Chains A and B, each alone.
Chain A
Amino acid sequence: MNTELFGFPTVNVWVDAIIRLHLIVGLMTVVVMGLIYIERKIIARFQMRLGPTRTGPLGLLQSLADALKLLGKEDLRPRNADPLIFEFAVYFVFVPVFMAFVAIPFAFDWNVRVLELGLFYVIAISSVNVVGWVMAGWSSDNRYAMIGALRAAAQGISYEVPLILAVLAVAMVAGSLNLNEITGQQGHIPYIVWQPLAFAIFYVAMLAELNRSPFDIPIGESEVVGGPFIEYSGIRWSMFFLAEYAGLFILCLLASAVFLGGWAWPLGEDAGVLWQVALTSAKTGLLIFSVFWVRVTVPRMRIDQLMGFSWKVLMPLSFALILANGLILVYEWPDVFLLIPNVLGLVLLYVVVEHGVTRRRPRRLARPALEAEAAS
């Protein structure tokens, strides 16, 4: 069975798949190393520091140097750790993230495979890594790691639901789960215009899925000191790290494809491949930058607030959105009607975040009696 690879016909389908997968893995590794460098530079700018400057021009080789250093480090394993689970946990985090790239379109018809259920596939496969987190935390024989793993499990599962529902809202409007098709429909107007609430929910859930600030509770540096990865070192730890950034990249790619029009908006299918790749990269880059921005600005939430926000705020909102979308689509009301539940939901979300976070502060203290006591 033969196929076509970048214009070269008659390549065996297996050879073709292997070449594409290798390209993806190679590309990803380079992109992730670049992301780490860029994040360090951007965060340094936010914090009035310089970031890496010493390794190569402008510190460009810092990620490479770090990777080499990590390769050279001893692969430590605690004596009481469960060896099999401890070592396999890495793959459960690392492999799914890379597998998710199979369905992501970088330009028109530019992906490893066009999957009819691409959206479903990406979401499903990229949430497997929670298993890896729990394995890492359980097998490390460390209580901090255990707490971190349980937090990761609770958080990963809780935010998976609003994430899926938000994407589902778009899929309903698009009438397809094929990522290329969803993106292609956004040639004139991206779906963020029709579904702003879905995008807001997706963005928040994405931060939580990636364990990024303000939802970096499982790895909270000042509480559980790195969480499930506390006992990992050397190459294994660097693979977790790689997977984390690859996950960031993939979800931002997904968001840019589903909500921001990916390669399609505003140039459409006819633009050159390079233009389309540039568009996708620019939108993804913008999203990634905003994630970094959030990271340096906001404090960490607490686990109960995090869970409450998912189950009490995001989940009902996304269900309501899907219900409203369904009604509008079934009765074939005009498209503008789609905006009504979205805007209402956004207002509600704003009100909840701004005023609805209930805090029980202790009662006012009896002032005069205390003053008398202090004076005596």
Chain B
Amino acid sequence: MTTAVPDTPAFDHEFETQDLMINMGPQHPSTHGVFRMVLTIDGELVTDVTPHIGYMHRGAEKLCETMDYRQGIGYMDRTEYLANFNAELSYVMAVEQLAELEAPERAQWVRMILCELNRLSSHFMFLGAFGTDVGVFGTAFTYAFREREFIQDLFEEVAGDRLMFAYFRAGGLAWEVPGNFEARVRETLELSRRGIKDLDGLMTQNEIFRARTEGVGHLSAEDALDWGASGPTLRASGVPMDIRKDEPYLFYDQVEFDVITGEHGDVFDRFQCRVNEMWQSIRIIEQCLERLEPGPIVPDRLPRMLRTPPGEVYCRTEAPRGEYGIYLVSKGGNRPHRLKIRSACLSNLQALRDMTIGGYVADAVVVLGSLDIVLCEVDR
């Protein structure tokens, strides 16, 4: 077969190079689920990124509109499966605000303990997965999961389930915590301390780890605010925004803790922020345990079937990944008219493109890991 040769003299121009497009995901070990990004690369440098989301879309918001308020709690577990208690809390508090209920004091303290413990377990998961992204051959993962498992055991004792707790109720808790709850929490905290120290030693002190993460994936504070980032991703860029401090819910105004911020807004700061946040969580839980007193866990007069007056409410809490908000519209009756989840991961993920372009392919993996996304929450 002969083809027409163009009429240009050979080699009068420089070699033309073409950017290569590689498809990372949806089945790729380091995209944390079914995220897909199409990388355009020039050698090892990333020149463009196109993120694709939606593989996990299950219509959780719409489904919540077809079931009553109590049934919706289970769906919150399924959207944010690494910080279930925090997700449940947002939903339950939104319903409470709408129905003008207030949970008794003991229920609120228990909620706080469980939410902070869940922050610990979620961040442990991050440390492990991030270690794998950076290339520690599974050691960070097993170290992180050892401690996460103890927390998970505790959750199982409390809620009866390891993953889908559905333990919070509008108005309080589903049932009383086990009798040895306080002792078990203290025991778990002790183990968590050991775990954080171990992981910190394995990663933070490592010269290669620092070389891989420092100065990589820079996100300036202005950009972070513009993208609507929240949680550790925003705080690592130097913005001290923490809903627990800014608009205290539960009893966060009665406990002492610091808002951790980074200085550089790079991957290492995001990592460091999370590690330091874990220490703060332990501090919060210890204060909560001292304040925990026997008492009722649901209000005296809680209707069997919860009905809300017409109205709308937006309730947000500080989940491990950032601002987890529930927007709820009611037209009366026992189910929401419209429910919208404000996902922290989705907003954080939008900043990915800015952070990845100009870096190396290996950096793209690390930057994505540092955002700590849960795809179920992104796609809902």
Question: Which A residues fall within an 8 A CB radius of B?
Answer: 43, 46-49, 143-144, 147, 213-214, 216-217, 220-225, 295-305, 353-354, 357, 359-362, 364-365, 367, 370-371, 373-374
Nearest 8 interchain pairs by C-beta? A300-B135, A222-B30, A47-B142, A365-B238, A299-B134, A362-B218, A361-B215, A299-B135
> A299 near B142 (CB under 8 angstroms)?
no
> A374 near B240 (CB under 8 angstroms)?
yes
Residues of A contacting B143 in the complex (Cβ-Cβ under 8 angstroms) = 47-48
Residues of B contacting A362 in the complex (Cβ-Cβ under 8 angstroms) = 215, 218, 220, 264-266
Residues of B contacting A143 in the complex (Cβ-Cβ under 8 angstroms) = 20-23
- Chain A residue at smallest Cβ distance from B235: A374
> A298 near B206 (CB under 8 angstroms)?
yes
Residues of A contacting B29 in the complex (Cβ-Cβ under 8 angstroms) = 221-222, 225
> A299 near B241 (CB under 8 angstroms)?
no
Decide yes or no: A302 and B139 within 8 Å by CB, A362-B266, A364-B264, A370-B239 being known contacts. no
Contacts A302-B362, A359-B214 given; 16 further ones with Cβ under 8 A?
Answer: A147-B41, A217-B362, A221-B29, A221-B135, A222-B132, A299-B206, A299-B209, A300-B134, A300-B208, A300-B212, A353-B207, A361-B214, A361-B266, A370-B238, A371-B239, A373-B239
Residues of B contacting A214 in the complex (Cβ-Cβ under 8 angstroms) = 135, 208
> B135 near A216 (CB under 8 angstroms)?
yes
- Chain A residue at smallest Cβ distance from B241: A374
Per the bound structure, the CA–CA distance linking A298 and B134 in Å amounts to 9
Contact code string B10-37 (vs A, CB < 8 Å = 1, else 0): 0000000000111100001110000000
Q: Which of B231-266 contact A (CB under 8 A)?
A: 237-241, 263-266
Residues of A contacting B100 in the complex (Cβ-Cβ under 8 angstroms) = none
- Say yes or no: is B306 at the interface (Cβ < 8 Å to chain A): no
A213: contacting residue among B137, B209, B210, CB under 8 A: B137
> A302 near B360 (CB under 8 angstroms)?
yes
Residues of A contacting B28 in the complex (Cβ-Cβ under 8 angstroms) = 225
> A302 near B363 (CB under 8 angstroms)?
yes
Give the total number of A-B pairs whose CB atoms are below 8 A apart: 128
> A147 near B139 (CB under 8 angstroms)?
no
> A222 near B225 (CB under 8 angstroms)?
no
> A299 near B240 (CB under 8 angstroms)?
no
Per the bound structure, the CA–CA distance linking A169 and B240 in Å amounts to 56
Per the bound structure, the CA–CA distance linking A360 and B359 in Å amounts to 13
> A49 near B44 (CB under 8 angstroms)?
no
Residues of B contacting A303 in the complex (Cβ-Cβ under 8 angstroms) = 44, 360, 362
Question: Which B residues fall within an 8 A CB radius of A?
Answer: 20-23, 28-30, 41, 44, 131-139, 141-143, 146, 202-203, 206-212, 214-215, 218, 220-221, 225, 237-241, 263-266, 360-363, 365
Decide yes or no: A222 and B221 within 8 Å by CB, A301-B208, A305-B211, A359-B210 being known contacts. no
- Chain B residue at smallest Cβ distance from A221: B29
- Chain B residue at smallest Cβ distance from A354: B207
Residues of A contacting B363 in the complex (Cβ-Cβ under 8 angstroms) = 302
Per the bound structure, the CA–CA distance linking A223 and B133 in Å amounts to 8
Per the bound structure, the CA–CA distance linking A301 and B208 in Å amounts to 6
- Chain B residue at smallest Cβ distance from A363: B264
> A47 near B365 (CB under 8 angstroms)?
no
> A373 near B135 (CB under 8 angstroms)?
no
Residues of A contacting B237 in the complex (Cβ-Cβ under 8 angstroms) = 365
Per the bound structure, the CA–CA distance linking A49 and B137 in Å amounts to 13
Interface centre among A47, A216, A304 (most CB of B within 10 A): A47
A222: contacting residue among B20, B41, B135, CB under 8 A: B135
> A47 near B138 (CB under 8 angstroms)?
yes
> B215 near A301 (CB under 8 angstroms)?
no
Per the bound structure, the CA–CA distance linking A278 and B230 in Å amounts to 60
> A299 near B218 (CB under 8 angstroms)?
no
Per the bound structure, the CA–CA distance linking A59 and B206 in Å amounts to 33
- Chain A residue at smallest Cβ distance from B139: A296
Residues of A contacting B221 in the complex (Cβ-Cβ under 8 angstroms) = 365, 370
B139: contacting residue among A47, A220, A360, CB under 8 A: A47
Residues of A contacting B134 in the complex (Cβ-Cβ under 8 angstroms) = 222, 299-300
> A298 near B365 (CB under 8 angstroms)?
no
**Separation in Å of the A214 CB from the closest CB of chain B?**
5
B362: contacting residue among A49, A213, A300, A365, CB under 8 A: A300
Residues of A contacting B138 in the complex (Cβ-Cβ under 8 angstroms) = 43, 47, 296
Per the bound structure, the CA–CA distance linking A360 and B216 in Å amounts to 9
**Separation in Å of the A336 CB from the closest CB of chain B?**
32
Residues of A contacting B41 in the complex (Cβ-Cβ under 8 angstroms) = 147
**Separation in Å of the B30 CB from the closest CB of chain A?**
4
> B202 near A297 (CB under 8 angstroms)?
yes
Residues of A contacting B137 in the complex (Cβ-Cβ under 8 angstroms) = 43, 213, 295-296
- Chain B residue at smallest Cβ distance from A375: B246
List, sorted by A's number, 17 A–B pairs whose CB atoms are closer than 8 Å.
A49-B142, A143-B21, A144-B22, A222-B29, A223-B365, A296-B138, A296-B139, A298-B208, A299-B136, A299-B203, A301-B208, A302-B212, A303-B360, A359-B215, A361-B266, A365-B221, A371-B240
> B362 near A357 (CB under 8 angstroms)?
no
Per the bound structure, the CA–CA distance linking A49 and B215 in Å amounts to 34
**Separation in Å of the A293 CB from the closest CB of chain B?**
11
Residues of A contacting B132 in the complex (Cβ-Cβ under 8 angstroms) = 222
Decide yes or no: A364 and B215 within 8 Å by CB, A147-B361, A297-B202, A304-B360 being known contacts. no
- Chain B residue at smallest Cβ distance from A216: B135
> A373 near B225 (CB under 8 angstroms)?
yes
Per the bound structure, the CA–CA distance linking A304 and B365 in Å amounts to 16
Per the bound structure, the CA–CA distance linking A144 and B361 in Å amounts to 11
- Chain B residue at smallest Cβ distance from A226: B29
Residues of A contacting B365 in the complex (Cβ-Cβ under 8 angstroms) = 222-223
> A367 near B135 (CB under 8 angstroms)?
no
Per the bound structure, the CA–CA distance linking A224 and B361 in Å amounts to 9
Interface centre among B131, B135, B264 (most CB of A within 10 A): B135
**Separation in Å of the B337 CB from the closest CB of chain A?**
32
**Separation in Å of the A300 CB from the closest CB of chain B?**
3
